[in-house]
Amino acid sequence: MSKILITGGAGFIGSHVVRLFVNKYPSYQIFNLDKLTYAGNLENLKDIEEKPNYNFLKGDITDQKYINSIFKKFQFDAVLHLAAESHVDRSIASPMEFIHTNVIGTVNLLNAAKGFWGANTEGKLFYHISTDEVYGSLDQGGYFTETTSYDPQSPYSASKASSDHMVRAYHNTYKIPVVVSNCSNNYGPNQFPEKLIPLCIHNIKQRKPLPIYGKGENVRDWLYVIDHAKAIDIIFHKGKIGETYNIGGFNEWSNLDLVKLLCQIMDKKLGRQEGESAQLINFVKDRAGHDLRYAIDAQKIMKELGWEPSLQFEEGLEKTVDWYMNNESWLEHVTSGSYQQYYEEQYKA
């Protein structure tokens, strides 16, 4: 029986990965390790918390002693590492938090894997989940491939790039079996409403301004979160040790076009007149060092591992809007207290 440690499983992407693994692989024991920061929410996993192959561990990846103790106690065969500080705007306000969690936390996990697996790495795997933001920013043309040089531009992407380098260094130096994937922007149910799409859904509903940084020209390549979770499943089971896989939906949208589409979808759902919600669009001060464009070339995972995205963007966005409309209590719980303070500080005039 495989014992799999999934870090950050109470977060947005992690909760979808935990659910997929718990339901699809009843013979695996899944251990979800999460510190439950503002972004971690056990409500995301209510439907599976009673399953016999699911275990929750509340802990901090920056605590090496604790990480060693759980490796000793549970003897993990594999690690799927998603725990991270993940929001670019927060990384601009407090970069150290990102160094601690994303860099030191990752190295702590690598140290534990190195110490407990030793030379006996048969059947072991350290899978590091990363982002396309490590490649930097593109102009109008071209894509990020697995061989694009790293050129991170924000404290968040620089911390993720550092962690990717450490993962590859442990593979090269200590022969830890690793695999890395770099994915484009995710959207879907359970995303914390500080990120663009859930923030706008929430604000459209409440007729609050929709803050668009700069002119809204920046382009992101959006992928439905469940398609990312499926790619992670495929890479975990079929990916080649030492390899990197880029994951993306070939689905580029400027922020302004995306928010306009969201407004159209929500006008229909809310019985508003066409164009009504778009009047809420509000151009605000640009993000410092705002990357212009991200776009992933996902041909390697498609050709070599047979993965492909299942949803068109319009369909995925509509499903996402429906989820947020049907889960008002989830949104109420996560938008109270400290999130209000963050919001006021971030968007003050």
Residues that bind ligand TYD (CB under 6 A): 88, 185, 195-196, 199, 211-213, 218, 220, 255, 287
**What Å distances lie between residue 110 and 13, 70, 79, 163, 176, CA to CA?**
21, 13, 9, 10, 8
If contact means CB under 5 to 8 A according to the sort of partner, which of ligand TYD, ligand NAD, none does residue 164 touch? none
Q: Which residues contact 128 (CB under 8 A, 6 or more apart)?
A: 81, 106, 163, 164, 167, 178, 179, 180, 181
Q: Decide if residue 5 touches ligand NAD (CB under 6 A).
A: no
Q: Which two tokens stand for residue 164?
A: 């990717």
Q: Do 177 and 77 form a contact (C-beta atoms < 8 A)?
A: no
- Rounded CA-CA distance 86/317 in Å is 21
Q: Decide if residue 8 touches ligand NAD (CB under 6 A).
A: yes
Whether 132 sits among the annotated catalytic residues: the reply is: yes
Q: How far is the CB of 339 from ligand TYD (least distance, A)?
A: 13
Whether 339 sits among the annotated catalytic residues: the reply is: no
- Rounded CA-CA distance 319/316 in Å is 5
Q: How far is the CB of 243 from ligand TYD (least distance, A)?
A: 24
With CB under 6 A as the contact rule, the residue among 37, 121, 145, 335 that binds ligand NAD is: 37
Q: How far is the CB of 13 from ligand TYD (least distance, A)?
A: 12
With CA atoms as reference, report the closest residue to 36 among 193, 192, 225.
192
List, in sequence order, every residue forming a beta bridge with 283; answer none if it has no partner. Answer: 212
- Using the rule CB under 6 A, give the single segment among 80-88, 110-118, 137-145, 209-217 that binds ligand NAD: 80-88
- Using the rule CB under 6 A, give the single segment among 18-26, 68-76, 78-86, 288-296 that binds ligand NAD: 78-86
The one catalytic residue among 60, 85, 132, 252: 132
Q: Which residue is nearest to ligand NAD (CB)?
A: 11
For ligand NAD, the closer of residues 124 and 160 by Cβ is 160
The one catalytic residue among 127, 156, 224, 294: 156
If contact means CB under 5 to 8 A according to the sort of partner, which of ligand NAD, ligand TYD, none does residue 220 touch? ligand TYD
Q: Which residues contact 181 (CB under 8 A, 6 or more apart)?
A: 127, 128, 129, 130, 231, 232, 235, 239, 244, 245, 246, 247, 301
**Could you write out the DSSP letters of every residue in 143-194?**
-B-TTSPP---SHHHHHHHHHHHHHHHHHHHH---EEEEEE-EEESTT--TT
If contact means CB under 5 to 8 A according to the sort of partner, which of ligand TYD, ligand NAD, none does residue 183 touch? ligand NAD
With CA atoms as reference, report the closest residue to 128 among 55, 78, 58, 63.
78
Q: Do 44 and 32 form a contact (C-beta atoms < 8 A)?
A: no
Q: Interface residues for ligand NAD in 109-138 (CB under 6 A)?
A: 129, 131
* Nearest-5° Cα angle at 8, 179 to 49: 115
Q: Decide if residue 19 touches ligand NAD (CB under 6 A).
A: no
Half-sphere exposure in the Cβ direction for 92 (13 Å, CA): 12
Q: How far is the CB of 207 from ligand TYD (least distance, A)?
A: 16
Q: Decide if residue 155 touches ligand NAD (CB under 6 A).
A: no
For ligand TYD, the closer of residues 136 and 211 by Cβ is 211
Q: How far is the CB of 229 from ligand TYD (least distance, A)?
A: 18
Residue numbers annotated as active site: 132-133, 156
Site residues (vs ligand NAD, CB under 6 A): 7-8, 10-14, 34-37, 39-40, 60-62, 82-86, 101, 105, 129, 131, 160, 183, 185-186, 192
